[in-house]
Chain A
Amino acid sequence: MTNIIEIKELIKVFNDGRKNEVRALDGVSMGIPHGVVFSLLGPNGAGKTTLVKILLGISYPTSGSIELFGENFRNIQLKKRIGYLPENHKFPPYLTGEKLLKYIADLYGYRPANLDKRIAQMLEIVEMSKWSKTKIKNYSKGMMQRLGLAQAILHNPELIILDEPTDGVDPIGRKKIRDLILRLKAEGKTIFVNSHLLSEVEMISDSIAILNKGKVVYSGTVDELTTQKQIYEITLNREFDDYIKFKLEGFQVVDWKERKFRVKIGKESELQRIQQILQENNYLLLGLNQVKTSLENEFISLIEKTGNENE
């Protein structure tokens, strides 16, 4: 099956007209399959928004190729299959929520027989029915964001691009947005999320890519990134004594803590040897787990590492 988004060697150079060039994207390649929640992460100025804008034809690439739904992305009709929630969007303040959705439907050329019903349904999903006839200028930031989501999914798109979807939304609202994203995924939609909130990305994403200084520095699943394959945490039935510490001296134990210790393993045979030593000394092994770190920790270390490499 082809990817819904296929990007190859994408380069975007901004020129300020004074011979100062900024490479916002520097050879970005990635593929995003159908029906997943994909998150694009990166520090400010990494090129995330530039990439999204290029996908949607808001900016133009300097070089490289992009395919959407297996076709050249320049085909304007493909936009009918994409829903988009921009960051810091400004909806016409003089329209009501309901009228905005009618306007957006017009812009998409989306005119089903039951449009009014569909609009009511979308407002219901984002819990905005109560304010459907209130002018947007009276909406709070959270309400604007929910309306933004409604307009992004109104025309039943296959690909939904959300730029900072939980920006300005309270924790309960965020939970609802996460649930909505997962519900859309269950319906077979592909969701492309651009977000700074790593903890949320961690909860919903099937795969992620991390951009730094215009380059993809990581592409894969959150699990692959946060699981430290070489470090194991071993839990015992009782506190260890100096003798067992002495017996394990040949291994790279990185942390001792009451009945637990962490050890860095080079070969699988080392793990078997440790288990054997523990058994010989009457220790019962209660747990053996690969150590996981948070996405935030891995993100920061990756950005620092690749930042230094690039400099």
Chain B
Amino acid sequence: MSNVWTITKHTFREALSRKVFVTFFLITTFVLAILIAAVLAINLSNIFGPISMKLKIDGDFETKIFSVLKLFLISPLYSGGLFLAIFSSSSFIPTMLEKGNIELLLSKPIKRGELILGKYFGVTSMVFVNVAYAVLGFYFILGLRFHYWDVSFLITIATITFAFMVLYGLIILIGILTRSSLSAMMLTYLIFYVFSPLLAHREKAFYLIESKIIKGVLNVLYYIFPQTSDIGSITSAIALNKEIASYQPIFVSIVFIFLTIGAAIFIFNKKDY
């Protein structure tokens, strides 16, 4: 385990040295500053009141506005934050595999699996820190403005980081297979922004499809692809204090993480460098 910890620490440091994570941090700080200005200067009920009515949120008027605000902050953080996280993390494995880097690592008394796990936890912890900074910022600004301290909102730190963990397993696997950060990034974007949302809403498409085979294939694909769209829905439900419809995407995603990381380690163990 100490080897995994060493690689994790070093990967965290490597992530810090990359400008994109600092950019993410600065963007978050900028958003938080705007949020502070907004809650102080703008009459939020004029903007978010009508929206809260449409979203059918329970509670008094202040609570509704509070919930809508949370959703307005968490949704962009989920899609935009993960966009940035995928962009910045997809090159870690191809860089590690570059000639001159990989020899230095593989010549040390470290198992190849430990290298992969160290990279995985290092990058994930960096994303966790950035997400936690943003969510905690939102939490304190909204809490001070509305005097409403919704601790469950903080759970979104875990769900957003978890969504990244699912995608990063895939990024590592593609990185090991192709040694290309561009391939890893493009394929992950495709899954995150196209396949996962489409498959999550496949039941709506079933009205237009008669073939049982195609329906079956779509169902199978839904369970094969990472269910990040559903994790996004869970995140929104938490932000809105709504009941979570199903925990199944969480369990399927955990299996997905084990499978992708396991496959990445297996292939990495077999390869010559």
Contacts and interface: CB of A to CB of B under 8 A. Distances in A.
A108 B17 CA distance: 23
A99 to B, nearest CB: 9
Interface in A50-64: 53, 56-60
Given A60-B272, A103-B10, A109-B2, A84 B107 contact: yes
B13 interface: yes
Contacts of A88: 99-100
A267 interface: no
Interface residues of A, number: 29
B107 A56 contact: yes
A216 B150 CA distance: 73
A89 B272 contact: no
Contact of A56 (B2, B17, B98, B106): B106
Interface string A63-99: 0000000000000111110101011111110110000
Contacts of A94: 13-14, 17
B10 A59 contact: no
B100 A57 contact: no
B102 interface: yes
Interface in B256-273: 272-273
26 contacts: A53-B273, A56-B103, A56-B107, A57-B106, A58-B103, A58-B273, A76-B110, A79-B107, A79-B108, A79-B109, A80-B109, A84-B103, A86-B103, A87-B100, A90-B98, A90-B104, A92-B10, A94-B13, A94-B17, A95-B13, A103-B10, A106-B10, A107-B108, A107-B109, A108-B108, A109-B2
Contacts of B152: none
Contacts of B98: 90
Given A57-B107, A86-B107, A106-B6, 7 more contacts: A58-B102, A59-B272, A80-B109, A92-B14, A94-B13, A106-B10, A109-B3
B145 interface: no
A89 B103 contact: yes
Interface of A: 14, 53, 56-60, 76-80, 82, 84, 86-92, 94-95, 103-104, 106-109
Interface string B96-118: 00111111111111110000000
Sort A-B residue pairs by CB-CB distance and give the 4 closest, nearest first: A90-B100, A94-B17, A86-B103, A59-B272
Q: Which of A58, A88, A94, A109 has the most CB of B within 10 A?
A: A58
A90 B110 CA distance: 18
The size class of the interface chain B forms with chain A is: 20 to 34
A88 B103 CA distance: 10
A109 B5 CA distance: 11
Nearest to B98: A90
Contacts of A106: 6, 9-10
Contacts of A56: 103, 106-107
A58 B109 contact: no
Contacts of B102: 58
Contacts of A14: 272
A175 B167 CA distance: 51
Most chain A Cβ neighbours within 10 Å, of B13, B14, B103, B106 = B103
Contacts of A78: 109
Contacts of B272: 14, 53, 58-60
Contacts of B104: 84, 86, 89-91
A80 B107 CA distance: 9
Interface string B1-34: 0110010011001100100000000000000000
